[in-house]
């Protein structure tokens, strides 16, 4: 085993021990202090809807979570406050800076308000979690390498440097802008 691998393993073991003692959120804040810390909006909503149910609150919550600008966020939060001040207070206590897109940093390439990616990754790791640490880390390495190779093969079939999902989003944005322009002309 290379010295570099030993150092990485030592750091991972140190991190795991720190996790056991201090808890996940505090460890992440200690180990990666400048990283943007987020909460999953879907999990916040699951708890929110137990107290504030209905289509109106569902739509207001998701509009708040997906608001791109702080002004939009504030406008929607005011609608929530008008509908039920307790719902407003509940969401404010959940620290919107960690789950509303309006507060996400500009340098971050991920605009997701849900942590579906993390949950998919955790679902894959269920098979290897119970293995000894070295075996588990090797299995994670293999899983990640296989995933990267699969995505590389898929990207080789593209006719563009931009992935298909982004191209579709751009096309939808163009159509949406055309529609808005047509509405303005009338």
Quick check: 159 pLDDT over 70? Answer: yes
For the stretch 131-147, what's the b/e string if a residue is b when 16 or more beta carbons lie within 10 angstroms of its beta carbon? Answer: eeeeebbebbeeeeeee
pLDDT exceeds 90 at position 92: yes
pLDDT attached to residue 19: 56
CB atoms within 10 A of CB 73: 20
Instruction: Look at phi and psi of residue 78 and say left if phi exceeds 0, alpha if psi is from -120 to 50, else beta.
Output: alpha
Confidence of residue 124 (pLDDT cuts 50, 70, 90): confident
Q: Which pTM value belongs to this model?
A: 0.57
Please check whether residue 93 is in contact with residue 119, taking contact to mean a CB–CB distance below 8 angstroms: no
| pLDDT value for 9 | 64
Query: Above 90 in pLDDT, residue 73?
Result: yes
Residue 31: partners with Cβ closer than 8 Å, 6 or more residues away: 15, 18
pLDDT at 77 over 90: yes
Cβ neighbours of 180 (radius 10 Å): 10
Q: Is pLDDT above 50 for 63?
A: yes
At 139, the pLDDT band (50, 70, 90 cuts) reads confident
Q: Quick one: which H or E segment has residue 169? A: helix 164-185
Which structure tokens are listed for 171? 């096309």
> Left if phi > 0, otherwise alpha if psi is -120 to 50, otherwise beta: which for 54?
left
Distance CA 48, CA 104 (A): 21
pLDDT number for residue 110: 63
The average pLDDT across 53-82 equals: 93
Q: Which residues of 155-167 are buried (b: 16+ CB within 10 A; e: fewer)?
A: eeeeeeeeeeeee
Q: 174 or 183: which carries more pLDDT confidence?
A: 174
């Amino acid at each position: 085993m290379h010295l570099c691998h030993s150092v990485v393993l030592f750091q991972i073991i140190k991190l795991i021990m720190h996790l056991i003692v201090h808890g996940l959120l505090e460890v992440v804040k200690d180990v990666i202090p400048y990283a943007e810390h987020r909460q999953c909006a879907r999990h916040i909503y699951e708890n929110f809807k137990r107290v504030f149910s209905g289509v109106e609150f569902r739509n207001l919550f998701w509009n708040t979570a997906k608001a791109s600008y702080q002004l939009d966020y504030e406008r929607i939060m005011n609608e929530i406050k008008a509908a039920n001040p307790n719902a407003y207070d509940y969401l404010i206590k959940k620290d919107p800076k960690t789950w509303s897109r309006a507060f996400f940093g500009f340098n971050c390439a991920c605009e997701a308000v849900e942590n579906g990616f993390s949950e998919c990754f955790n679902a894959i790791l269920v098979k290897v979690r119970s293995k000894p640490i070295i075996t588990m880390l090797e299995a994670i390495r293999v899983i990640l390498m296989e995933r990267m190779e699969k995505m590389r093969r898929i990207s080789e079939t593209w006719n563009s440097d931009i992935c298909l999902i982004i191209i579709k989003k751009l096309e939808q944005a163009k159509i949406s802008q055309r529609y808005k322009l047509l509405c303005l002309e009338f």
